[in-house]
Structure 1
Amino acid sequence: MIFQIGSALLDACVLSVLEREDMYGYILTQNVKEVVDISESTLYPVLRRLQKEAYLVTYDQPFAGRNRRYYQITDKGREQLAMYRKEWIAYKSNIDRILTGEEKQ
């Protein structure tokens, strides 16, 4: 995709994926990569920031002799995601209007 993704939109994508279920980093990256070109090295600072803002918490689960760190959305993260969704609807509507040449209602 040629369009750049901003940090707020990336945050919204991560929170949205985690709203469905808890995930560990690699699987989370694969889910986000389905719609956004992102690497694990880009995603982990995002996860740390979201955790610092209390939008996510982590927990470890043993797997094949090691621990996997899982990410889980918090209630505060759900509230933030709801705000992102509301903002996205308005933003998308405005961009669609400009790109399609529609008149403002």
Structure 2
Amino acid sequence: MAVPPAGSSGFNAPVATPAVAVLASPTAVAEAIEIKGLVQVGGQFNLIIRDPDASTSRTVRVGDVIGGGKVRIRRIDAPDSQDPQVVLEQGGVEIRRAIGV
């Protein structure tokens, strides 16, 4: 049996590690919003979305604020194409999102 060094109790005490702050992405809410679909009603495009903290989907339009007031729907690029893109804005940063992805 090995003898512990002098001044040691023989037990391995847990080593404290410095706390590291994990910063959330400045666009985390916008990235978490689900863009489920795009519909045209009366000549106006509406998005079907689900907020990260909601249990159901809802429809919104360009200019609406979602994500607990943190995200604005800026525009829909190429709504008539096969691959339209939704541009969301959070904290002054624009985020492009594909529909249904």
Q: TM-score range by the shorter chain?
A: under 0.3
TM-score relative to the length of structure 1: 0.27
**Greater helix fraction, Structure 1 or Structure 2:** 1
Is the radius of gyration larger for structure 1 or structure 2? 2
